[in-house]
Amino acid sequence: MAELRMTTPRLLVLHAFLDDPTQERYGLELATAAGLEPGTIYPILVAFENAGWLSSREEQVDPHLEGRPRRRYYTLTADGVGAVRDVLAENARRRGRRATSTRKLAW
Amino acid sequence: MSAHQEAGRRTGALTRIDRVLVAALGSALPSQFRARQQAEWAADLADLARERQPAARWRYLLAAAWTLPTLIALARHAQVDGPRSVSPPAVLTARMLAWIVAISLGWTLLSWSVVIAGPYLAFDVPARQAAGIDHGPEMMWPIDERSLPSLLRAALELGGYAAIGMDLVLVAVAAGVTVGFLLLPFRQTWQDRLYTLAGGAVIGTVALTLTAVNMSVSLGTSVTGLTLLGTGIAAAGLAVGRFGLPRRWRIVLGLLAAASFAVVITDNTFGSAMIVWFRD
């Protein structure tokens, strides 16, 4: 599994996934849930997919009936759920340490 | 069909600009990943279109362009769905051929209108000839030959010369477009396939008719005008009528109709005088 650099947008997307780890979601839906600009979501999803945290599948609908191309649905893999929880926990610890050190400096 | 699907059909269609921009963004991506990502962008834009948010669509495209370099780098290692999301080379070749042929026919028609029929009628060349006034085709272009419009003029004149022999070219054009457009769609419903086959049959019939016309012309008969007039009217009727034909078929049929009418005009005495004027 590749090591991923965690940025704020990536963390926001992971939080959105962990709201319901078993639910499949598409890009625009995830961007809205994470509070990101919709057009920016795909590099994040592809990075997570390359790392093995996400799997994706193309939906089985008739594009002519739907009036749009088929969507791609993303879901967390079993490895992904564990990895994401570790990352978010680590991030929370760092933020906690930073907040503590800031308080020490302030006082 | 659900109410949601019906709404999607009514309002979810992408604009031409959306399609062009999605294609342009996708062209920068690795080929094996391109179709997948273009479908993602197009589906999102269709959703935004359905919600009637033009500003959000522009913002979406700008954001997609902004993150494109990252996506390109990541896409080299991304999962793909196999052959279904990658166009076979034969389809791509046929698509390119179809576009080249359709654009060539369109340019030939435009040239014929701009450098032959248009000025001939607009400047009333027969009257000028009778009165002995300057009536050469060069009067259309009173501009320095080294300037950019002279390049346009050269391109239009070449198109005009191609238009003079159009009834022969038209057969090859019709056949090429038929083959190209039959192979073009590779994700179709059965209804669309039937429409495509019906359109192919119409254009194939036109091509065969024109071939027969050419043979009859070489044998000295004079059925060209009437046959082409009939096929032109039929093609125009199919192009503008409500027969549920896909838009690309309407464009091709419209071009064929215009070409047929152009040949009808060119093949009579009035048209011959125009050609003589243009060649001189």
Say how many CB pairs under 8 Å bridge A and B: 95
pLDDT at residue B210 above 70? no
Chain A contact for B9, CB < 8 A? yes
Q: How many domains does chain A have?
A: 1
pLDDT at residue B192 above 70? no
Residue B219: band (very low, low, confident or very high) from pLDDT cuts 50, 70, 90:
very low
Query: Which of A58, A59, A66 to mutate to probe the B interface, most B CBs <10 Å?
Result: A66
Place of tokens 């999803």: A45
User: Are residues B46 and A28, on separate chains, in Cβ contact within 8 Å?
Assistant: no
Q: Is A87 a member of any domain? A: yes
Q: Is A84 a member of any domain? A: yes
Contacts of A28 in chain B (CB under 8 A): 43-44, 47
CA separation, residue B34 to residues A41, B97, B195 (Å): 16, 21, 28
CATH number at residue A95: 1.10.10.10
In tens, the pLDDT along A63-92 reads: 888 778 889 999 999 888 888 888 888 888
Chain A contact for B55, CB < 8 A? no
Q: Which residue has the higher pLDDT, B252 or B26?
A: B26
Chain B contact for A4, CB < 8 A? no
Residue span of the structural domain in which A96 resides = 8-106
Instruction: Identify any residues that bridge with A26 across adjacent strands, giving them in sequence order.
Output: A73
In tens, the pLDDT along B99-158 reads: 666 777 778 788 888 888 888 888 888 888 788 777 777 666 655 555 556 677 777 777
Chain B contact for A29, CB < 8 A? no
Nearest to B39 among A28, A62, A69 (CB): A69
Residues B93-112: b if buried by 16+ CB within 10 A, e if exposed: ebbebbeebbeebbbbbbbb
Domain boundaries, chain B: 3-85, 89-279
Tokens of B103: 């654009």
Q: Is A2 a member of any domain? A: no
Helices (H), chain B: 3-11, 16-27, 31-50, 54-66, 68-75, 89-111, 118-122, 125-131, 148-164, 166-183, 190-218, 224-240, 247-266, 269-279
pLDDT at residue A39 above 50? yes
Q: Provide the ipTM.
A: 0.85
User: Tell me, what DSSP letter sits at residue B112?
Assistant: I
Q: Which residue has the higher pLDDT, B213 or B151?
A: B151
